[in-house]
């Protein structure tokens, strides 16, 4: 199983690397959103520090949503997903590998750039550290939950709006806890509870989301 997941993961990484727009578009979108707020709002240091964590989290969420619709779309249109049904590879393994590849090539670059964006909002060292910890725990949850919506809307021609309606309520707790941690550190409050909740959400999603995504894929494929 591990070998199969690794091969599927490498396959999807190579596929996304060949389509550089899958990586660059969300990353550029993230940088643009984060850069516009300091330019459009007041240059007041305290104001930017207050909203910085929330802006970066919302930017990451919206940027990841740009690529969610394409997690399974290419393989679906090429008929590859249907071929997996006739092999020893399960759709659960396929979904898990695709989610991992999506996170590595979409969310991970944004996590790496987050400290740079944080300096534009005058976040201190502790706030940037907590921001990165929160994103490291929260973005896998966003990818896992988003994959369920992507699988449910797979056979719809214009499913982007419906996808957003389905998954945004699921994203809300991650956004609230993640952005709240940065604000809490700025006020000198502990963030152990938020980190624990983000970790619980991540492991809970990892346990359930691949199976739910597999079921949704079979439904979209009419199997």
Q: What is the pLDDT along the chain (223 residues), one digit of tens a residue?
A: 677 778 888 888 887 778 777 778 888 999 998 888 888 776 778 888 888 888 999 999 999 988 888 888 887 877 777 887 777 778 888 889 899 999 998 899 999 999 999 888 888 888 899 999 999 999 999 999 999 988 888 887 776 777 888 888 889 999 999 988 888 888 878 888 889 999 999 999 999 999 999 988 888 777 5
Structural tokens at position 63: 């940027």
**Confidence at residue 133, expressed as pLDDT on a 0 to 100 scale:** 92
Q: Are 23 and 17 in contact (CB under 8 A)?
A: yes
**Confidence at residue 140, expressed as pLDDT on a 0 to 100 scale:** 95
DSSP letters, 88-121, are: S--HHHHHHHHHHHHIIIIIHHHHHHHHHHHHHT
């Amino acid at each position: 199983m591990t070998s199969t997941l690794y091969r599927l993961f490498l396959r999807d990484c190579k596929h996304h690397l060949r389509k550089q727009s899958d990586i660059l578009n969300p990353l550029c979108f993230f940088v643009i959103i984060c850069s516009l707020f300091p330019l459009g709002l007041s240059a007041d240091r305290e104001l930017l520090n207050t909203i910085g964590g929330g802006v970066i989290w919302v930017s990451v969420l919206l940027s990841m949503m740009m690529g969610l619709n394409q997690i399974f779309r290419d393989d679906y249109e090429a008929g590859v997903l249907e071929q997996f049904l006739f092999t020893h590879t399960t759709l659960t393994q396929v979904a898990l590998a695709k989610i991992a590849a999506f996170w590595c090539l979409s969310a991970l670059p944004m996590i790496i750039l987050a400290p740079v964006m944080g300096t534009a909002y005058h976040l201190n060292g502790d706030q940037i550290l907590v921001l990165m910890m929160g994103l490291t725990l929260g973005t896998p949850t966003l990818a896992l939950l988003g994959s369920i919506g992507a699988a449910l809307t797979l056979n719809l021609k214009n499913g982007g709006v419906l996808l957003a309606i389905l998954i945004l309520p699921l994203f809300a707790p991650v956004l609230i806890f993640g952005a709240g941690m940065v604000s809490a550190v700025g006020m000198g409050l502990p963030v152990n509870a938020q980190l624990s909740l983000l970790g619980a959400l991540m492991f809970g999603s990892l346990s359930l989301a691949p199976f739910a995504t597999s079921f949704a894929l079979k439904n979209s494929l009419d199997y």
